[in-house]
């Protein structure tokens, strides 16, 4: 249980930090595709009997770089979709080779937070720290190239390099978070809280902090609820992400309509 809390909290912090840039760059589809593609890597790793984290990392990285490479030639959404399905197709192939998969597959797809062992926490923590550190070190250039690509190019920041770094960070974050929250739902954690945070505050740093707080809260509530009901944690994470977003939108809407009323009177 302690393992679950620790690992899920680490995961939430990563998702909150990385998710902030996902929302800022409008990269929702990429952040959605990379985890799902990485799932195939986990399936392949379990087929070969190697560490799942290795399979996840390799496929997440391959997916990210593939999207980066292909979207130079074709529309970005189309390239993302096709890289995603080709990885998933491989996943389907790997799955058809294994016999005893069902429970494990389900937990990879929808999360199995209570199955995290003590030995798994250390790599999650170290890689998570690397991930967060990378984002913090590159905070300014990433922010500039996300918000104003033209002027950041003028300031000597290479937008293509930033894009590549961003994709690698997403891949790293993905491979860490996937075993805990599940391939299909990492993404709820990565965009729900940051989107809510963005509509609540305009300052980038405050928004990032708020998004981490919201993500951690979502995960804590989800773990508690999942422990109580024995239902899959993915359900609560998905619902929590949507609630965050809806609340953020409502508050933002209430603010603007109040502002309008003040102006009218």
Q: Which residues bind another protein (CB under 8 A)?
A: 23, 26, 28-29, 32-33, 36, 70, 73-75, 77-78, 80-82, 84-86, 88-93, 95-97, 101-103, 105-106, 109-111, 182, 184-185, 187-188, 191-192, 195, 231-232, 234-239, 241-242, 245-246, 249
> Count of alpha carbons within 13 Å of 56, Cβ hemisphere only?
22
Q: Can you tell me the distance from the alpha carbon of 40 to that of 213, in angstroms, rounded to the nearest whole number?
A: 31
| Distance in Å, CB of 122 to another protein, minimum | 28
| Distance in Å, CB of 155 to another protein, minimum | 23
| Distance in Å, CB of 172 to another protein, minimum | 20
Q: Closer to another protein at the Cβ: 127 or 194?
A: 194
| Distance in Å, CB of 222 to another protein, minimum | 9
Provide the phi-psi class of 156: left if phi over 0, else alpha when psi is between -120 and 50, else beta: left
- Select from 60, 19, 186, 169 the least CA-distant residue to 111: 186
Q: Closer to another protein at the Cβ: 101 or 227?
A: 101
Q: Can you tell me the distance from the alpha carbon of 161 to that of 260, in angstroms, rounded to the nearest whole number?
A: 42
Neighbours of 204 (CB within 10 A): 17
Q: Can you tell me the distance from the alpha carbon of 159 to that of 66, in angstroms, rounded to the nearest whole number?
A: 17
Q: Closer to another protein at the Cβ: 134 or 198?
A: 198
């Amino acid at each position: 249980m302690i393992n679950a809390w620790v690992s899920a909290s680490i995961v939430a912090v990563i998702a909150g930090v990385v998710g902030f840039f996902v929302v800022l760059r409008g990269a929702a589809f990429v952040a959605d595709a990379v985890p799902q593609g990485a799932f195939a890597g986990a399936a392949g790793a379990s087929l070969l009997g190697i560490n799942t984290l290795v399979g996840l990392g390799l496929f997440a990285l391959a997916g990210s770089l593939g999207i980066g490479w292909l979207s130079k030639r074709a529309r970005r959404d189309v390239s993302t979709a096709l890289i995603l399905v080709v990885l998933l197709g491989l996943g389907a192939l790997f799955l058809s080779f294994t016999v005893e998969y069902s429970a494990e597959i389900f937990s990879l797809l929808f999360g199995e937070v209570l199955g995290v062992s003590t030995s798994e926490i250390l790599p999650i923590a170290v890689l998570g720290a690397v991930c967060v550190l990378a984002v913090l070190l590159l905070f300014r250039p990433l922010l500039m190239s996300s918000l104003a690509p033209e002027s950041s190019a003028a300031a000597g920041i290479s937008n293509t390099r930033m894009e590549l770094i961003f994709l690698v960070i997403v891949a790293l974050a993905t491979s860490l978070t996937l075993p805990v929250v599940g391939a299909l739902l990492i993404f709820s954690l990565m965009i729900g809280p940051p989107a809510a945070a963005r509509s609540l505050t305009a300052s980038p740093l405050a928004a990032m902090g708020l998004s981490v707080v919201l993500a951690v809260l979502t995960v804590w509530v989800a773990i508690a609820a999942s422990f109580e009901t024995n239902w899959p944690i993915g359900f609560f994470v998905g619902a929590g992400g949507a609630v965050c977003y809806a609340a953020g939108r409502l508050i933002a809407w209430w603010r603007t309509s109040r502002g309008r009323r003040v102006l009218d009177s």
